[in-house]
Amino acid sequence: MALQGHGRVVRTAVLDHPPLVLLPPSEGKATGGRRGSWEPDAGRFGALAERRRQVIDALASLGGGDERLLGVGGEHLLRAQSANSTLLGAPTLPAWRRYTGVVWEHLDPATLEPVHRRRIVVVSGLLGLVRGDDPIPDYRLRMAASLAPLGRLSSWWRNELSTALDRAARRSFVIDLLPKEHRAAWRPTNVRGVRVELIDRSGKPGGHFAKAAKGRLAGALLRGDSHAVDTLETWHDDRFLLDVTPLP
């Protein structure tokens, strides 16, 4: 629950700007959704449509991806290949319902107000950026993946993604809760906010076990009536501390 000495620096940047919480997608995703409705220009980051189409085309040329690209095998691989090969016109769910991993389970987005869900931005290897209530298809693609002929997706997305996210964050205070592979896709410029790492009380990085705590923290930031920095200062977890640094 410590701000690691940066609280005063961060507080001067907050003013009255509402929080914008950056989260990773989950590898696990809910199936189904509204039939035949998804197109690459869907959602609040529809300006990334052309970039999304290039990822879709690359995936289609690979039959949806193999075990090495997607990081799964067996039935999970077959489902991912099917989803990745039929993205255009695919059934959609709001992002907060599609993502089902540990972070999202402990965030419990169903209990958030709609205005709070709109303050979630997901950094995605397939879609670039997604608001928490944007309609999205089922898919599987890691931001750290190297997808021929595009290359490593975090690098390939960086310029367009950074421009779009910086624009979306102009009137917000950004709390970056991204893993390194997703953070590598964004180079912020003149953005107010902080990067937050969860550190085990022994001093070690939180790793996989910090995911549940990260979800609870994100929920507290989005639900909080106080400024984001106040929430960061008062948040408590029995196992993890917060290392908070201003965005570069």
User: What integer pLDDT is reported at residue 118 of this predicted model?
Assistant: 96
> What percent of the chain has pLDDT above 90?
83
User: What integer pLDDT is reported at residue 229 of this predicted model?
Assistant: 85
Q: At what angle do helices 49-61 and 74-85 cross, to 10 degrees?
A: 130
User: What integer pLDDT is reported at residue 226 of this predicted model?
Assistant: 66
Task: Report the 3 state secondary structure along the chain.
Answer: CCCCCCHHHHHHHHCCCCEEEEECCCCCECCCCECCCCCCCCCCCHHHHHHHHHHHHHHHHCCCCCHHHHCCCHHHHHHHHHHHHCCCCCCEEEHHHHECCHHHHHHCHHHCCHHHHCCEEEEECCCEEEECCCEECCCCCCCCCEECCCEEHHHHHHHHHHHHHHHHCCCCEEEECCCHHHHCCCCCCCCCEEEEEEEECCCCECHHHHHHHHHHHHHHHHHCCCCHHHHHHHCCCCCEEEEEEECC
From 15-19, 46-50, 162-166, 235-239, the region with the lowest mean pLDDT: 15-19
**pTM, rounded to two decimals:** 0.92
Tokens of 241: 């501390």
**For residue 11, with 0-12 CB atoms within 10 Å meaning exposed, 13-18 middle and 19 or more buried, which class applies?**
middle
| Amino acid identity for residue 151 in this structure | G
Instruction: Find the mean pLDDT for residues 194-216.
Output: 88
How far, in Å, are 27, 31, 161, 186 from residue 167 at the CA level?
A: 27, 32, 10, 12
d(CA 134, CA 236): 31
d(CA 214, CA 197): 9
The pLDDT-based confidence of 34 (bands split at 50, 70, 90) is confident
User: What integer pLDDT is reported at residue 33 of this predicted model?
Assistant: 93
CB 179 within 8 A of CB 205: no
d(CA 92, CA 108): 19
> What percent of the chain has pLDDT above 70?
93
| Per-domain boundaries in the chain | 7-246
